[in-house]
Amino acid sequence: MGDEPRAPPLRLGSAAPNFKAETTLGLIDFHEWIGDKWAILFSHPEDYTPVCTTELAALAKYEPEFTKRGVKLIGLSANTVETHGGWINDIDEIAGIAMTFPIIGDKDRKIAFLYDMLDHQDTTNVDARGIAFTIRSVFVIDPKKTIRLILSYPASTGRNTAELLRVIDSLQASDKHRITTPVNWNPGEDVIVHPSVKNEEAETLFPKLRIVKPYLRYTPLSKEALAASRV
């Protein structure tokens, strides 16, 4: 696989490539598994790595919050499903709760290659300890199987679970309410009226419209309204 060209680049708005894979919960067809939900696909360099373990333990704790938002979680690690089992036992112990979402076994890194989750060298590249350089990628995929967010972290840096929830809240609210979210936005804070909404319509849609500049218009969005955005 190291001699193959890189997979076509995936961008925001790209269709999420489909695949079939063995997971800790059995064989899946990725698109069928997503169904009419949102999904977060995230990769890990290898089983039994410390940063990954903390990430999965956090996701196990936060999974009910993702479920409330109609989001399914699925991980990928460059090992076999069989080796995932012992690692999951460790994660359950650390999290204090059973992890219920699946982890893909991608020992040959075909899915990592498909989603361009590998480093800039090649698909056989490993470090001095033999750990595959599968980067920490995150793909947020909507029910139409469209990629809505891509994040890439270096192997040394753990991801922020709360940020993933914040992004999901923003995307779902934007889809439903014709708004965007400003810098450092958190649920319950004011949002920005989408530029495509003209002032006349905005005043009808958003009775508490606050115009700072012609191109910067705020409106409240309560946590209750945000919760109603969830699928």
- Asked whether the beta carbons of 107 and 126 are under 8 A apart, the reply is no
Q: Choosing from 10, 39, 52, 118, which is the catalytic residue? A: 52
The amino acid at residue 80 is T
Q: Residue 202 CA to chain centroid, in angstroms?
A: 31
Among candidates 95, 71, 72, 75, which has minimal Cα distance to 169? 71
For residues 8 and 116, what is the distance between their CA atoms, to the nearest angstrom? 8
For residues 110 and 114, what is the distance between their CA atoms, to the nearest angstrom? 6
Angle, alpha carbons 167-172-173 (nearest 5°): 100
CA–CA distances in Å: residue 53 to residues 11, 86, 91, 104, 228: 28, 12, 6, 15, 33
Q: Is 123 a catalytic residue?
A: no
For residues 138 and 73, what is the distance between their CA atoms, to the nearest angstrom? 11
For residues 192 and 13, what is the distance between their CA atoms, to the nearest angstrom? 22
For residues 104 and 114, what is the distance between their CA atoms, to the nearest angstrom? 14
Enumerate the active-site residues.
Answer: 52
